Amino acid sequence: MTSSALLLLGRGSDPTSERGVDCPGDLPPASDPNLVARAQAAKAALGDRVFVLGHHYQRDEVIQFADVTGDSFKLAKDAAARPEAEYIVFCGVHFMAESADILTAASQQVILPDLAAGCSMADMANHQQVIEAWDVFVEAGIADGVVSVTYMNSTAAIKAFTGEHGGTVCTSSNAERALNWAFEQGEKVFFLPDQHLGRNTAVLQLGLSLDDCVVYNPHKPGGGLTTEQLRAAKMILWRGHCSVHGRFTAENVAAIREQIPDVNVLVHPECQHEVVLAADLVGSTEYIIKTIEAAPAGSAWAVGTELNLVRRLADAHPDKRIVFLEKTVCYCSTMNRIDLPHLVRSLEALVAGQVVNQIVVDPTVAANARLALDRMLALP
């Protein structure tokens, strides 16, 4: 189908077309009953020219159009493995689309359907703050032995800083391998921006103690740490957290165990240390999915991660009892920004030859960030 044919189809079948939804840059109203058909038609018209990636925390209405789903590690690899796709539509958040832009060829264009889909954790570390932290390490005489490990959930600028300073990116799937690698390169790890993933991995997987970890607060002079504390520490954790996973508590775990005595508690490593300690199992979203898939029928699970994923798991496994760990914790509001109207707008605009909301990382930043991402992809 040609672009104009698709637009005509959209016009004919869309009762709201008089209000201007035919313009490819316009957002269709959520009430449009033809959104699914429009997304299907636009995707079919684009064929192999478009590759749609969907993070596990995306809404069902969006996930149904994803060519692949995954956690941030899998999606980064999947994006890099599709050189023939002209357009990568990333249904996820901004830092993921940036990583996709860095890992894909210059000829490929990465689109984030809603530019407001950011990440509060990634926003907790900005480039200037990280440069200042490094200056603090230089002052303390420790910088030469510090290796940076940056969680995927960070801006491209922070990944670039990490690349320039000989460090690596990690995700929740490979944080243990990344930390082991980093301790082979130096004496201390500067882990940012998620203090919880850093602490949980260092203590529970590498066997470091809580006393080996200090928290660097970018809003305090010197990070709020003394030179002695910095010199004694093995892990310097950035004071950042996920606003979704950070809300689960050890009390939630105790309450669910009261309610469902044979429950297995399965949480993401972005949860607080006490929550992970109280849980039975901890792992990335891919790990959570595989664990539930492999669980025997009749088993009971309380899952501490984003709600869209937990609900999908419960729907996909009616033979198992799957509940959300805490009923007042809700969706990741920024992940949820990507909805069907935004996806339809992105796809129809592409059919019309317009790229709306392209994510382009500055070439120098991209080159340095790529160093850190390539180190991650090369981890054993």
**Binder of ligand 13P out of 109, 285, 308, 357 (CB under 6 A):** 285
Check binding of 329 to ligand SF4 (CB under 6 A). Answer: no
Residues 6+ apart with CB under 8 A from 361: 98, 101, 102, 156, 369
- The reply on whether position 98 binds ligand SF4 by CB under 6 A is no
Contact 168, 185 (CB under 8 A): no
How many residues at the interface with ligand 13P, by CB under 6 A?
11
Residue with smaller CB distance to ligand SF4, 173 or 334: 334
100 CB contacts (<8 Å, ≥6 apart)?
53, 75, 76, 79, 80, 88, 90, 110, 359
Residue 272 sits in the site that holds ligand 13P (CB under 6 A)? no
171 binds ligand 13P per the rule CB under 6 A? yes
**Nearest 10 degrees: Cα torsion 93, 97, 100, 105:** 170
Find out whether 362 and 118 touch, Cβ atoms under 8 Å: no
Stretch that binds ligand 13P, among 71-79, 252-260, 318-326, 338-346 (CB under 6 A): 71-79
234: helix, strand or coil: coil
Q: How far lies 33's CA from each of 36, 38, 213, 252, in Å? A: 8, 10, 53, 39
The 213-216 sheet, strands edge to edge: 168-170, 146-151, 188-192, 235-238, 213-216
CA dist 137 and 244 (Å) reads 31
370 vs 173: CA distance, rounded Å: 19
Distance CA 223, CA 216 (A): 5
Is the separation of the CB atoms in 329 and 307 below 8 Å?
yes
- Binding-site partner at residue 334 among ligand SF4, ligand 13P, none, CB < 5 to 8 Å by type: ligand SF4
Q: Which does 243 bind (CB under 5 to 8 A by kind): ligand SF4, ligand 13P, none?
A: ligand SF4
- Of residues 255 and 379, the one with the C-beta less far from ligand 13P: 379
Minimum CB distance to ligand SF4 smaller for 97 or for 146: 97
**Residues 127, 184: Cα–Cα separation, whole Å:** 26
Q: Is residue 346 near ligand 13P by the rule CB under 6 A?
A: no
Taking the complex as a whole, how short is the minimal distance between the CB of residue 240 and ligand SF4, in angstroms? 9
Q: Minimum Å distance from CB 159 to ligand SF4?
A: 15
Is 249 or 334 the residue whose CB approaches ligand SF4 more closely?
334
93 in contact with ligand SF4 (CB under 6 A): yes
Stretch that binds ligand 13P, among 65-73, 130-138, 209-217, 252-260 (CB under 6 A): 65-73
153 lies in the site for ligand SF4, by CB under 6 A: yes
We find the least distance from the C-beta atom of residue 97 to ligand 13P, in angstroms, to be 12
Write down the least CB distance from residue 335 to ligand SF4, Å: 5
Dihedral sign, CA of 148, 88, 315, 59?
A: positive
Q: Rule CB under 6 A: choose which of 72, 99, 104, 200 binds ligand 13P.
A: 72
Least Å distance, CB 171 to ligand SF4, is: 11
Largest CA distance in the chain: 71
3-state secondary structure of 141: coil
- Residue 243 found at the interface with ligand SF4 (CB under 6 A): yes
Cβ atoms of residues 372 and 167 within 8 Å: yes
Nearer of residues 152 and 352 to ligand SF4, judged by Cβ? 152
Return the residue of 63, 112, 213, 242 that touches ligand 13P, per CB under 6 A: 242
Near ligand 13P by CB under 6 A, which window of 10-18, 67-75, 158-166, 198-206? 67-75
Partners of 188 in the β-ladder: 146
User: How many residues in the chain?
Assistant: 380
Q: Give the interface with ligand SF4 as residue ranges (CB under 6 A).
A: 57, 93, 119-121, 153, 242-244, 306, 332, 334-335
